[in-house]
Structure 1
């Protein structure tokens, strides 16, 4: 596979810390040559090669992109709207990983509220 299974296990463990209604609505899907974690069918975070991919609400993009170890997701050679990559250095601790997962969940919940 094109992603690190141990890294995927870290993400799964972080989702287990979420409330029951979130945990029971998380699914996994192979995407972008890696794996994505979806909440109620909306992408939250994923793994592409060694990077964490995170969906971020538009209003927070500038602030998140100014964070160390974060860059625009340029999967198709151009930045993708509301997507960022976080390098391994940016998610060295479980607290850092959980913060990015919560950002991804925020994005998914916002998209669901727009429906």
Structure 2
């Protein structure tokens, strides 16, 4: 599966703003994932953003417009969401989602 390179560029730059560092990148799930301290933070799959928000924020953020379950295997991955392209078309909305991702990932130990 190809991924939206323009969205990937915006995510990369947005994560640099949120985290203060350029994230590492890894091709996974047929898309591009962004890593912070060795932990997957978010990614771009097709034209959607994958958001790792953690299990505590999952239900609340799933209720936001444009958010959906990440269910590659038919079973939702708790703590992971897929965000529609239209939802993150606005830079402020993208930054909001990236802030949620970074807030969770910074609680994890480095790998």
Fold match (TM-score > 0.5) = yes
CA RMSD of aligned residues (A): 1.7
Deviation at 1:17, TM superposition (A): 1.7
Contact 1:57 1:106 (8 Å CA) reproduced: no
Contact 2:25 2:32 (8 Å CA) reproduced: yes
Q: How many residues align?
A: 111
Q: Which runs of 5+ in 1 are unaligned?
A: none
Contact 2:48 2:83 (8 Å CA) reproduced: yes
Q: Distance in 1 between matches of 2:11 and 2:77?
A: 22
Residue of structure 2 equivalent to 1:93:
90
Residue of structure 2 equivalent to 1:110:
107
Residue of structure 1 equivalent to 2:73:
76
Normalised by the length of structure 2, the TM-score is 0.90
More helix by share: 1
1:66 to 63, 66, 69: 63
Q: Which runs of 5+ in 2 are unaligned?
A: none
Deviation at 1:19, TM superposition (A): 4.9
Normalised by the length of structure 1, the TM-score is 0.87
- The runs of at least 4 aligned residues of structure 1 exceeding 6 Å deviation read none
